[in-house]
Amino acid sequence: MTGNLPKNMGEKAERFMAAAMAEGVLVVGTEADMRTCRNLNSRGLLRRNQQDASIWYPTDRAYELTGVDRPAFDADLVDHGGEAIARHAANHATVHAVLPVSIDIGLDGGGVEVLTISPPCASYSKPREPAVIAARGDENELLATVERARTALTEDDVRHALVLSGGAYEEAKAAANYAEKVKASRELITKFRAIQADALKVETYATIRLAELVDAAQGRGEVSGRGRPKNVQTDDIFKLEEIGVDRRALHQARKLRDAELKAPGVVERAIADRIEAGLAPTRNAIRHAIGTRSASTDEKGDQLYETPVEATRTVLALESFSAVVKLPEVGRGAILRVLEAAGYDAIISDLRDRGTATRHGELQQVGDFLKSMPGETEGMDMVINPPYGSVANAFLAHAVRVHKPRKIAALLNLNFMCGFDDPDRRYLMDENPPSRIYVFTRRLPMMHRDGWDGPEASSQMNTAFFVWERNDDGTYGDGFPRIIRVDWKDFEEAKPLLPGAGGSISPMSFAAKPDEFARETPRKPLDQRVTEERNRALEWLREQTEPFDIAAMRRGVAIRGLVAGALLAGFEGEGLIVPDGEGRWQAVRPGELSPSDDIETLEAENAGS
């Protein structure tokens, strides 16, 4: 068919032209294929579709040189939605060839849907039914290729396994990408992604096995290491190029092997995580993710991933919260410590008793937040990094529905903006949308699972702080959130906004599980806390030569709003400070105050003056 075309085009170009002449159209999915098509275009053999740069057609010159009859013109063909095109594309995944199709409904023929494809493809028919894509020959062929690759790997035929799995991976990837491009059904895309994942798994383990074989051969002196092969004792030199692997690829294979040895199953779990997240299981993604999101559901336990300080510092520089903030999943205190350093107090709890305490020594409460009731904490602001996985939707929805915070900031995967199946997600994003979404343009430092001691890697997750703010009528948002791009690097030295005024609060209460009761840590009475903090407050007060407000005192002494208010009232009554009428106080004799001052003596001196 290509015999009369120009010589020396190359094997790949000849294969592309053969497919284009046979089908009347050629669809490519990679940059390398695009370059080949552009080269053929420069020779006057292919012309590009004006709307889609990945679709190419044979030119009149190509038909004249080959003597092939032109198939039906483009104008005579109907693009039916995309599923049929993707189905046909998969039939020619090797050469990426596809032809638009038309759909005819034969009502007189027993209600049969007929898919017509121009020669040399045969017609395809199926009973009338909902648009569910059944298993097809192309899928079966790819699956069979993956199985042959798996068998080759089992038999230690690494080179054959690499070739087969690599080919299946590329074909499945191309078919899935094109199915997405033409907006085929999610079921069709998912099937090809699953085949791509299986092929990638076999290829990765074959790569790991390659590293083992090469290292063993080098250990026996049968293959050279770095530099010139002076250490090879025989003429039968094993060359990496013979199996398509260079030294750089071998280095990557060794890294994969080491990661698998340290955490068995890490490759398989990383691929499964990509599929579960609705992401393509690509080679680059797996290399990037090795040592990160790879634990099983049981190993992940209660999903404790400590929040990077960079994230909390950024949101505190952009948002001001109530002086007392509620942390229903305090973990080991990653968010808590940053909040306290900024002058906030917190009510803390967690599903697990981790022994976390505030700077005032108040231990966390223990209980399931999904069973909690707010009590007098209703309306209190929240800053959270909710548990990962399926519970995130329910966790946030419970916070908004039941606890009704004035403002809640949640660190989430940027994909949280998407999704439509989960009613809680729709409640949070459609019925009560966030007011602002701070998108981190630079990925945050890696959040490794609590207790993780495996290889560490950089984050591959795009994250954002979603901020819901309650309206006067009790709803949230105004329909469309503001998307604000931020770089956490810009906020490393930024000062937090001032906390709001504190109020009278009481601990949350938890519904008891069967045969289990939630623990509430007793709180010290206010007068006891005032007595304990008086000396530290006096020490701070003696250094204040300028007027100060309650927020400055709370930050300087590290005390709660209630305690600060009680101390200020006491100091004012003792004549140690005087108000200026603008919400600030001035120390009467700051340099002379000390924690050992006798209250009665000071009162007498002030009365005499």
| Residue 342: how many other CB atoms lie within 10 Å | 20
Residues 69 and 604: their CA atoms lie apart, in Å, by 114
Q: Which of 195-209, 327-341, 496-510, 595-609 has the lowest mean pLDDT?
A: 595-609
Burial (CB < 10 A; 0-12, 13-18, 19+), residue 547, is middle
Q: Which residue has the higher pLDDT, 375 or 274?
A: 375
Strand segments (E) across 389-537: 407-413, 436-440, 463-469, 482-486, 509-510
Q: What is the pLDDT of residues 117-144, one digit of tens each?
A: 333 333 333 333 333 333 344 567 778 8
Nearest one of 359, 398, 194, 341 to 276, comparing CA atoms? 194
pLDDT band with cut points at 50, 70 and 90 for residue 112: very low
| Residue 179: how many other CB atoms lie within 10 Å | 27
Statement: residue 172 has pLDDT above 80? yes
Highest-confidence segment of 293-302, 319-328, 455-464 = 319-328
pLDDT band with cut points at 50, 70 and 90 for residue 298: very low
CB contact set of 494 (below 8 Å; sequence gap of 6+): 313, 314, 317
Statement: residue 533 has pLDDT above 70? yes
Residues 544 and 133: their CA atoms lie apart, in Å, by 75
The percent helix, strand, coil of the chain (3-state, each to 5) is: 45, 15, 45
- Give the pLDDT confidence score for residue 328 in this predicted structure: 93
pLDDT band with cut points at 50, 70 and 90 for residue 90: very low
Helix (H), strand (E) at residue 248: helix 247-262
Q: What is the pLDDT of residues 572-583, one digit of tens each?
A: 888 889 988 778
What is the per-residue burial (b if ≥16 Cβ within 10 Å, else e) of 355-376?
A: ebebebebbbbbbbbbebebee
Q: Which residue has the higher pLDDT, 145 or 405?
A: 405
Residues 524 and 202: their CA atoms lie apart, in Å, by 61
Residues 161 and 596: their CA atoms lie apart, in Å, by 81
> ∠131-136-142 over CA atoms, to 5°?
130
Write out the two tokens for 512: 């008891």
pLDDT band with cut points at 50, 70 and 90 for residue 167: confident
> ∠21-27-29 over CA atoms, to 5°?
140
What integer best gives the mean pLDDT of the chain? Answer: 74
Nearest one of 370, 448, 466 to 412, comparing CA atoms? 466
Domains and CATH numbers, the chain: 11-102 (1.10.10), 137-294 (no CATH), 309-510 (3.40.50.150), 526-608 (1.10.10.10)
Residue 51 sits at φ, ψ, to 5 deg, of: -100, -25
Structure letter (DSSP) for residue 483: E
Q: What is the average per-residue pLDDT within 188-212?
A: 85
CA 248 to chain centre: 28
Statement: residue 495 has pLDDT above 60? yes
Statement: residue 593 has pLDDT above 70? no
Residues 397 and 390: their CA atoms lie apart, in Å, by 12
Strands lying side by side in the sheet with 102-106: 102-106, 112-116, 124-127
- At 552, is the secondary structure helix, strand, or coil? helix
Statement: residue 192 has pLDDT above 90? no
- Give the pLDDT confidence score for residue 335 in this predicted structure: 93
Q: What is the residue type of 255?
A: K
pLDDT band with cut points at 50, 70 and 90 for residue 522: low
- Which residues face 55 on adjacent strands? 27
Q: What is the pLDDT of residues 352-401, one digit of tens each?
A: 888 889 988 888 999 999 999 999 899 999 999 988 767 889 999 999 99
Statement: residue 76 has pLDDT above 60? no
Residue with tokens 């006891």: 528
- Give the pLDDT confidence score for residue 127 in this predicted structure: 33
Residues 171 and 354: their CA atoms lie apart, in Å, by 49
> ∠513-517-522 over CA atoms, to 5°?
145
- Give the pLDDT confidence score for residue 223 in this predicted structure: 58
What percent of the chain has pLDDT above 70?
Answer: 69
Statement: residue 86 has pLDDT above 70? no
- Provide the angle, in degrees to the nearest 10, between the axes of the packed helices 83-91 and 158-181: 160
- Give the pLDDT confidence score for residue 133 in this predicted structure: 33
Q: What is the average per-residue pLDDT within 323-340?
A: 92
Statement: residue 511 has pLDDT above 80? no
Q: What is the pLDDT of residues 538-580, one digit of tens each?
A: 888 888 888 999 888 888 888 877 788 888 888 888 888 998 8
Q: What is the pLDDT of residues 219-264, one digit of tens each?
A: 776 655 554 444 444 445 555 555 455 667 777 778 878 877 877 8
CA 129 to chain centre: 37
Distances (CA, A) of 73 to 23, 59, 104, 215, 253: 12, 12, 18, 57, 49
Highest-confidence segment of 70-74, 84-88, 302-306, 446-450 = 302-306
Q: Which of 53-62, 299-308, 354-363 has the lowest mean pLDDT?
A: 299-308
- Which residues face 348 on adjacent strands? 327
Q: Which of 28-42, 272-286, 329-343, 361-375 has the lowest mean pLDDT?
A: 272-286
Residues 406 and 469: their CA atoms lie apart, in Å, by 6
Residues 435 and 481: their CA atoms lie apart, in Å, by 5
Q: Which residue has the higher pLDDT, 427 or 183?
A: 427
Write out the two tokens for 118: 């121009």
> Please, what sign has the CA dihedral across residues 296, 299, 303, 305?
negative
